[in-house]
């Protein structure tokens, strides 16, 4: 969130009736940023993502993603994918949840559960960013250009502090991030207890038609997650 810039009109006015700029970021499985784009105004939907250099590179197949691989012996080759929430469009390389509420134990509900477990990574990255860099806990009282400098600096510092084991143990000590016990119970990371409320706003969710190939890929992942080799031991109890 930002303090309303002078003479900005509705450019930075979002669907929550606040003023904000969008931090569009992708994290890897080690809680590090691998891409960040900041500065867009109205946070309406994933149309902002489609204006980024990352999305253009994805369309042009210039990201050097790993080649599709079989996830089961003799099975269909599956692409490497980015995990997103409902605000994003479903594509062959971007997976999002099935819409709606699904019956307990159903394939779609299990897929959504597994997707949310993976997406928890980026939520935790944003969470620790807010806890450590307190500028995020209230509207930033700077001009948009200066907001961009501050936010991107925080992104770089986050990665820098996680670069080696010494600084990582100080910046994000054990149990900072969410984790699961041996029974699959979610134990909240310490960053959640330090925030009375999460200061960042999700992008607005909008449905978009997906290609048949993207729908097929999601179905294949969903089918895999309900097989003995693709499910987690406690999956049937929590999904």
pLDDT in tens, 120-132: 999 999 999 999 9
Tell me how crowded residue 115 is: count the other CB atoms within 10 A of its CB: 22
Please check the confidence at residue 39 and state whether its pLDDT lies above 90: no
Which residue, 138, 132, 154, 129, is CA-closest to 19? 138
Q: Are 1 and 7 in contact (CB under 8 A)?
A: no
> How high is the pLDDT of residue 42?
59
Average pLDDT over residues 19-24: 90
177-221 confidence digits (pLDDT tens): 998 887 778 899 999 988 878 888 887 766 678 899 999 999 999
pTM recorded for the entire structure: 0.88
Q: Are 36 and 25 in contact (CB under 8 A)?
A: yes
149-183 confidence digits (pLDDT tens): 999 999 999 999 999 999 999 999 999 999 888 77
> How high is the pLDDT of residue 169?
95
Q: Are 36 and 152 in contact (CB under 8 A)?
A: yes
Instruction: Between 232 and 208, name the one with better pLDDT.
Output: 232
- Both tokens of 30, joined, read 């080690």
Question: What 3-state class would DSSP assign to 132?
Answer: helix
């Amino acid at each position: 969130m930002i303090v309303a810039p002078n003479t900005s009109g509705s450019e930075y006015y979002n669907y929550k009736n606040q003023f904000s700029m969008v931090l569009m970021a992708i994290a890897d499985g080690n809680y590090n940023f691998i891409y960040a784009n900041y500065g867009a105004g109205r946070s309406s939907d994933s149309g902002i993502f489609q204006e980024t250099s990352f999305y253009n590179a994805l369309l042009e197949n210039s990201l050097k993603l790993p080649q599709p691989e079989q996830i089961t012996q003799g099975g269909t080759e599956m692409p490497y994918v980015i995990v997103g929430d409902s605000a994003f469009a479903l594509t062959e390389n971007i997976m999002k949840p099935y819409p709606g509420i699904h019956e307990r134990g159903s394939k779609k509900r299990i897929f959504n559960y597994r997707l949310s477990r993976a997406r928890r990574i980026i939520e935790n990255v944003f969470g620790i960013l807010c806890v450590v860099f307190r500028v995020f806990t209230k509207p930033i009282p700077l001009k948009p250009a200066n907001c961009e400098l501050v936010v991107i600096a925080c992104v770089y510092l986050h990665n820098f502090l996680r670069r080696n084991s010494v600084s990582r143990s100080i910046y994000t000590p054990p149990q900072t991030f969410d984790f699961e016990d041996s029974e699959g119970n979610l134990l909240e990371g310490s960053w959640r207890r330090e925030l009375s409320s999460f200061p960042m706003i999700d992008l607005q969710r909008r449905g978009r038609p997906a290609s048949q190939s993207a729908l097929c890929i999601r179905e294949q992942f969903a089918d895999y997650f309900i097989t003995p080799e693709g499910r987690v031991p406690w999956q049937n109890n929590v999904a």
